[in-house]
A = this chain, B = another copy of it.
Amino acid sequence: MTTPVIAVDVMGGDFGPSCTVPACLSYLAQNPSLKLILVGQSAVISPLLPPSSHAVHSQLEIVDATEVVAMDDPVAVALRSKPNSSMRLSLELVRDGKANACVSAGNTGALMALARFTLKTIPGIDRPAMMCCLPTQANKGCYLLDLGANVDCSAEQLFQFAVMGSVAAEVLGVAQPKVALLNIGIENIKGNQQVKQATQLLESQNKLNYIGFVEGDGVYRGDADVVVCDGFVGNVLLKSSEGVLRLLASRLDNRFKANWLGRLKGLIMFLPMLRGLRKDFSPERYNGASFLGLQGVVIKSHGSADSTAFQTALHHAYMEVNEDLQARLSQQISLLLEDVLLQPH
C-alpha cells in the first residue's frame, strides 16, 4: 500500500494553527507511516514546526494558502470570494488525488459547500450527510446522521442517509448494523410526513437491517447502531446533549464548592471519577464528524477541539482511508439504490 496522505486545513477552528499544527506533529510522531499536508499560511505554520533535522519533517509538506475562511463567513463568500483558502485547497488536494482525505475544524457550512463543489457527491446521493458516533448504555457506539448539513430532508434523502450510515457502520466494524429512524414515538402513526414515507421506503427493502423508529432516549440506550434524522434535529440532539452534560458538570462544581466537606469529597473522591466519565463523552474521544456521500474522505473537527481532540479527528480520517470507506460506500450504495429501484435525481 502506498503511504496514506491527509490534507489538513490548519487555519480552521477556534484556535487555528497554534492548536492544529502541534496536534499534527504529535499525531505524526505516533504514526510514522502517514503523511500530512499542512495547508495554510506558511508564514504562520513554519515557526510552529520543529528544526528541519527533526524526524517528522519527512512526513510533512506545507501548501501555502493565502486566504482563510472565517468561522462566520457566509457560504457564498467561501465559495466565490476566496479561491485560495486553506479549506478549498485542502479539498482540491483530495480531488486531484494528491491526498486521500481532508480534515478541517473550520466553518461547517462552508466546508460542506466547498466539499460538494470540489469533490461532488457519489452517484445516487443527492446531498452528503454529517455523521458522528455517540456513546450508549449498550457500550457500543451509535452512529447518528445528519448532524446539520441538511436542515430539510425529503424521505428519499433520509433513505439515502440510512444507506450511507449502514454501509459506513459496517465498514467501521459493526456487523449487520441495526438502522433506525429518529422519531417522536415508535408507533407507525407518529412523526412528520418525511419520516412516515422514509419508513415505508426502508421497509420495502431487505438489504439493510432496518428496525423501525427510535426516540431520543433510544439513541443513548443503544437501541440501534445507526440513527437517521434530518440535520436540524440531529444538530439539536447533539448540542442539547452537550448542554445537559455541561449543566451537570456545573452543578457538581457548585456542590463541591459549597463547603469544605464538599471540596474535600471533590478532590479526593469525585474528580478522578468525573474525569473518567467525561472522557467517555468528550470530543477528545468522539471528535470528528464524517461527511458521507462525497467522492472523497472529509472529516470535520469540532471548532473548539483542543490538540487531543483534533488528533482524534485526524485518526478518524486515517481510519476511513485505511478501510477504504469511500470506495466501499460508492460501490455498496449503487448496489443498494438499484435494489430498491430508487432513481435519485
Contacts and interface: CB of A to CB of B under 8 A. Distances in A.
B269 A246 contact: no
Describe A's contact surface by its main secondary structure.
helix
Each complex incorporates copies of this chain amounting to 2
Contacts of A239: 184, 215-217
A217 B152 CA distance: 21
23 contacts: A75-B189, A109-B185, A184-B231, A184-B239, A216-B240, A216-B243, A217-B246, A218-B243, A219-B243, A220-B246, A221-B243, A221-B246, A229-B236, A232-B233, A233-B233, A240-B240, A241-B244, A248-B277, A252-B277, A255-B273, A255-B277, A265-B273, A270-B270
A244 B244 contact: yes
A217 B240 contact: yes
Contacts of A232: 184, 191-192, 233
A74 interface: yes
Interface in A31-88: 72, 74-75
B237 A240 contact: yes
Q: Please tell me the size bucket of the interface on A.
A: 35 or more
Given A216-B242, A216-B243, A270-B270, 16 more contacts: A109-B190, A137-B246, A148-B184, A151-B184, A182-B236, A192-B232, A216-B239, A216-B240, A217-B239, A217-B243, A219-B243, A221-B243, A237-B237, A237-B240, A251-B280, A255-B276
